[in-house]
Structure 1
Amino acid sequence: MVLVTGVAGSGKSTVAQLLADRLGWAYQDADDFHTPANRARMAAGEALTDEDRRPWLAAVAAWIDRRIAAREPAAVACSALKRAYRDQLAGGRPEVRLVHLHGSRQLIRSRLESRHSHFFPARLLDSQFADLQEPEPDEHACVVDIGRPPEAVVAAAVAQLRAVPTEEPHMPPTASGEQWSLRHGAQAAVVAELGGAVRHYEVGGRPLLDGFAADERITGGRGQLLVPWPNRVAGGRYRFGGEDHQLPLTEPENGNAIHGLLRWVPWRLAARSEDAVTVGTTLFPQPGYPYQLQVAAEYRLGPEGLETTVTTTNVGDTAAPYGVGQHPYLTVGTDLVDTALLTLPARHRLGADDHGLPTGEEPVEGTAYDFRTARPIGEQHVDTAYTGLDRDPAGHCVVRLAHPSGSRGIDVRLIEGIRYVQVYTGDTLSEPGRRRRGVAIEPMSCPADAFRSGTALTVLEPGGSHVFRWGLAPWGSW
C-alpha cells in the first residue's frame, strides 16, 4: 500500500494512478471521500479546518484498512499535509509506505492556474503550504522532486520504494500486545495494544490504577474501552432502523452482550510523543452490528493528570446506534477499597435486576448509595450506575476517591459526552484475590441496555462523530 502525499497541484493523482498501473494495483483518490459540503467550501475559496477533515480522514483510513485486510494493494493519492494526518492514515500500519511529492511553490501555482475542472482553486495554495509539515525521518517517506515528467517521477518513486525495505509486522511477546509508555514529570502511564486499554498509571512511583501486567491476561474489563456500547444489552437483542439484530452473548451466565465489540482486538498506533499516544481501530460491519465506525483514543499526560479522548466517526452509509465507556479500577493505596473515601455528586442511581439490567431510576437521598458527601465505602457492595450528575460551571462532573487520611487522592473528571458513571467495588470478580482491591469508576455515555431502551443512546449519522472525554487528576501528597 502506497500513500502519495503533497499539496494540491503537486501531481498526486497522476503519480498515484501511474504508480498503480505500473505495479498492477488498485488506485484511489482520497478526494473522493470528501463530503459535498467540504467540496463546496474549497470551491468557494474556503480552507478546510481540522474539524472539517476529521470524517474525511476517518473514511480514508477505513478504506485503507479494508484493502489491507483483503490483501489488496493500492496506491492512494491524499494530501495528508500534517504529520497528524499521515499518522492517522499510516501510523501503526507497516503495510503503508509514503511517497511525498516535493516541488517549488512557483511550479505548483502554475500547474493549479492551468487546470479549470478541479474543485480546488489556486488561491487556496497558500493555505496548503501553511499547513504543510514535511515528512520527518521516522516516517521513512520516499521524497520525490516533481520538476520532471510524471513517468520520471514514478520511476524515481519506485526506485526508492524498492531500495528501502518494508518494515515487517511482528507479534509482541506479551499477552496484551505492544506497550506504549507516556511520561510527564512524576507521572507515567502505559497503554496496551489489545483493546487500546490503559494498563498502568502512576504518580511518583505510586500506582493509581489497579491495572494489569503486560504479560497478564486482562480480566474484569481493566482499563478497557467499551465501544460501541458500555455495560449490557439484554439477551444481545435490539431493534434499530426498522431491523432486528442479535449480538453475540459475551456474558453467557446472564444471557447478555456486554461491553461492546472492541475489547479483544488490536488497536493501531496512530501518533505518539513523550506524553501522549493515539491509538485507533476500525469496527467493521458484522453480525449483530452491521455498521462501520472509525475509533481513535488519545491518552495525554499533562499538569492536571491523564486525559482520555475517544473520537468515533461513522464511516458507513447508514445511521448507527452508539455508546461508549471505559473501565478503570482506581486505588489510593489502601489494601481494600473499604477505607477509601468516595465523593460522587449524583442525585439518582439506576436500580438493577439479577442480570445487571436497569429497573428504573431512583433518588439516592436517604439510601446507602448516597455518596454526595465524602464517606468511606465500607463493606458495602456497589455495582450501580449513577446519573443526575452535578456539574461545575464548565459542565464537568468530578468524582473523588481519597485516601483515608484525606491527604491525597484522585479525581475522575467527566468532561464531555458522559451522562452516567458506573461504580463497582469488584465483589464478583472471578479472581478472589482481586476483589475490592480497586473501585471501578466507569464513565459512560449511556446506561446499560440503551440499545433497547434508547436512553441517552447516540445515533451516529453517516459522517457524524462523537467525542467522549474524561480524565484522572491526582491531588495531594503523592
Structure 2
Amino acid sequence: MRAPTGEQHVLSRASGSHQTRAIITEVAASLRELVIDGTAVTQPYPESSRPPFGDGIVLVPWPNRVEDGRWLLDGEVQQLDVTEPDRNSAIHGLLRNAPYTVAERSDDAVTLAATVFPQHGYPFLLDTTVRYELLADGLRVTHTVTNHSDAAAPVALGVHPFFRIGEVPTDDLVLTLSASSRFETDARLNPVGELATAGTRFDLSEGVPVRELQLDDAFGGLTPDADGTFSCSLTATDGRSLRVWQESDWRWVQVFTTREFPTDGGPATAIAIEPMTAPPNAFNSGLGVRWLQPGESWSTSWGVTLSGGAA
C-alpha cells in the first residue's frame, strides 16, 4: 500500500566510526526518522500513518498560526483558508499536505522542491526547496525560498520536529533554552503579549526536566552561542546531549509538550522543538516577516547534533 506521506527518501552516511541515517517524506518534506550513531533522536511515526501533531513537517510561508486566517496587505483584508477550525486559525502554512519533488539526490543528502501557488489570502507565487544533509554527528537542513510574484511577498519559515534520545524516557530528559521572553497567548493560542521569562516557570536557562513542563509556547530573545547561532538542548543522565541549532534568521523557537504522542506502547510524552524565523501571528504583527522582492531568493539553515555519552 502506498504511504500516506508518499515516497520515503532514505539517507545514510558513514564517516569513520560515525553513522547517520534519516528518512524524509515526500509529503510536507517531513523528517520522519533521524538516527545518529545508533541513537534515535526523533520521535518516529509509522510509514502507514500521517505525521501525528505535524511531526517533522516543514512550515511555509508562515509557521504557527494566523489569527482568524486574516491579515492586511496594502490595507486590504486577506482571508486565508481556516485550517484549524477549533481555534479558527490558519495554521502551519500552505505546504503541510503538499508533495515535494526531488531536485537533487545523493546517498547522504536530498533536496526537495515545492511551489506555493497564489490562493485564498496569499496572492503570491513562491518556489521553495528544503535540503537535508547528513553530517558525521547530525543533520543540517537548508531552506530556500524564491519569489516569482510581481510584488514583494511576505515569508516566514518553521519546522515541527519532535526529539528524543534513544530509549531514554522523554520525561527524564532535561531541556535547556536560554530565552529572555515568552509570548503570552489567549485561549485560542494567539499571542497577546511578550513577557520576560526571568523569575517564572518559563525560565529554562538552567535546564528543566521535561516531566515538569507543560508547554505550547513561543520563545524569543534567544541568547546566541559563540558561533553566532541560537540553540537549545535535551540532555540525558548518561551525558548524551542533543543540540538543536538555528542560524541568526531563526530568532524564535516554539516548544510543545504532549503526553498523548502515539507509540506502539500507547500514548507517551513527547517534546517538539520548533525553530521559527517569525513568531505566531507574524503576518499581523510583522515580527520576523521577510518581504522578498520579485526575483529575490532567501536561504537559511538549522540543524541537529548529538554528543557525549555512550551511543
Which TM-score applies when normalising by structure 2? 0.93
Name the CA shift for 1:387/1:332 in 2 (closer, same or farther; >3 Å): same
Tell me the distance in 2 between the aligned counterparts of 1:306 and 1:180.
15
TM-aligned CA deviation for residue 415 of structure 1: 1.7
- Render the CA deviation track for 1:85-131: whole Å, top value 9, x for unaligned: xxxxxxxxxxxxxxxxxxxxxxxxxxxxxxxxxxxxxxxxxxxxxxx
Q: Which residue of 2 aligns with 1:13?
A: none
1:428-467 matched pairs, under 5 angstroms:
433-436=266-269, 438-467=270-299
Q: Which residue of 1 aligns with 2:201?
A: 368
SS state of the match for residue 220, structure 1? helix
Q: 8 Å contact 1:323–1:446 — kept in the other structure? A: yes
Q: Which residue of 1 aligns with 2:78?
A: 245
Q: Which residue of 1 aligns with 2:258?
A: 426
Q: 8 Å contact 1:233–1:258 — kept in the other structure? A: yes
Q: Which residue of 1 aligns with 2:94?
A: 261
Greater share of helix = 1
Q: 8 Å contact 1:240–1:321 — kept in the other structure? A: no
TM-aligned CA deviation for residue 429 of structure 1: 6.1
Q: 1:301 aligns with which of 125, 134, 138?
A: 134
Given the alignment of the two structures, is residue 347 of structure 1 paired with residue 180 of structure 2, yes or no? yes
Q: Which residue of 2 aligns with 1:395?
A: 228
Give the share of equivalent positions with the same residue, in percent. Answer: 37
Larger radius of gyration: 1
SS state of the match for residue 86, structure 2? coil
Name the CA shift for 1:336/1:397 in 2 (closer, same or farther; >3 Å): same
Tell me the distance in 2 between the aligned counterparts of 1:204 and 1:395.
27
Q: Which residue of 1 aligns with 2:2?
A: 173
| Code of the aligned partner of 1:419 | R
Relative contact order: is structure 1 or structure 2 higher (C-alpha 8 Å, sep ≥ 6)? Answer: 2
Tell me the distance in 1 between the aligned counterparts of 2:216 and 2:292.
29
- Gapped regions of structure 2 (runs ≥ 5): none
Tell me the distance in 2 between the aligned counterparts of 1:376 and 1:333.
16
Q: 8 Å contact 1:417–1:467 — kept in the other structure? A: no
Q: 2:240 aligns with which of 383, 401, 408?
A: 408
Q: Which residue of 1 aligns with 2:216?
A: 383
Tell me the distance in 1 between the aligned counterparts of 2:40 and 2:261.
20
TM-aligned CA deviation for residue 375 of structure 1: 2.9
Q: How many residues align?
A: 305
Name the CA shift for 1:301/1:430 in 2 (closer, same or farther; >3 Å): closer
SS state of the match for residue 176, structure 1? coil
TM-aligned CA deviation for residue 181 of structure 1: 1.1
- Gapped regions of structure 1 (runs ≥ 5): 1-171
TM-aligned CA deviation for residue 334 of structure 1: 5.0
TM-aligned CA deviation for residue 283 of structure 1: 0.7
TM-aligned CA deviation for residue 354 of structure 1: 1.0
Q: 8 Å contact 1:415–1:470 — kept in the other structure? A: yes
Tell me the distance in 2 between the aligned counterparts of 1:435 and 1:321.
37
Q: CA RMSD in A?
A: 1.8
SS state of the match for residue 373, structure 1? strand
Tell me the distance in 2 between the aligned counterparts of 1:327 and 1:306.
15
Q: 8 Å contact 1:425–1:435 — kept in the other structure? A: no
SS state of the match for residue 378, structure 1? helix
Greater share of strand = 2
Tell me the distance in 2 between the aligned counterparts of 1:245 and 1:429.
34
Q: Which residue of 2 aligns with 1:28?
A: none
Tell me the distance in 1 between the aligned counterparts of 2:128 and 2:108.
20
TM-aligned CA deviation for residue 335 of structure 1: 5.9
